[in-house]
Amino acid sequence: MSTTQSERLRELLEPLVTSQGLDLEEIAVDSVGRKKVLRVVVDSDTGADLDTVADVSRALSAKLDETNAMGEDAYDLEVGTPGAERLLTEHRHFVRAVDRLVKFQLTEGGELVARILEVDEEGIDVEVPGVKGRKATARRLGFPEIGKARVQVEFNRKDSKKDMKEEEEA
């Protein structure tokens, strides 16, 4: 049974990432000119701050140097967190996206943009925003209905819970 370099790197590095309280979301090895770039994406339920990412980066770098897992050629190590418009592929990703606006590609065809309200083992409850003065509607999506899901960036959205509390206190 052959394993890819990414799989071998995941086996090597995942315990270090987990020991820092993070999940190893992605590993990618790319060639950029004569150099390789190892990209490692980490996250947690509470996010990962810059100091934590730096600590993980140092630990991964030391382990890679110690084991020579990237070979003799020069490489760059990039450790970061998922981007703002992250793709949701695992159950934990949907849980972390509760209260976020998400664009869904449905397996039966079509798209849906909705806010995730709740996640359980079978699927998610969403709120579809109303259009042209109509009220928002609730909908249930089972995981098999979701072909692809990506978090959407919202620039002008009020944090409803936080803003409501601030308005009550004023």
Rounded CA separation 61/76 (Å): 10
Q: For 116-134, what is each residue's pLDDT tens digit? A: 999 999 999 999 988 888 8
Closest Cα partner for 20 from 66, 46, 29?
46
Q: For 35-81, what is each residue's pLDDT tens digit? A: 889 999 998 888 888 899 999 999 999 999 898 888 888 889 999 98
CATH assignment, 91-164? 2.30.30.100
Class of residue 149 by CB neighbours under 10 A (exposed 0-12, middle 13-18, buried 19+):
buried
Structure tokens at 37: 């770039």
Where are the domains positioned within the chain? 5-80, 91-164
Pick the CATH number of 5-80 from 1.10.540.10, 3.30.300.70, 3.40.640.10, 3.40.50.970: 3.30.300.70
Average pLDDT in the chain: 86
pLDDT higher at 20 or 169: 20
pLDDT cut 70: percent of the chain above it: 90
Q: At what angle do helices 50-67 and 5-19 cross, to 10 degrees?
A: 130
Q: What is the mean pLDDT of residues 79-100?
A: 88
pLDDT band at 157 (very low <50, low <70, confident <90, very high): low
* Predicted pLDDT at 154: 85
pTM above 0.95, yes or no: no
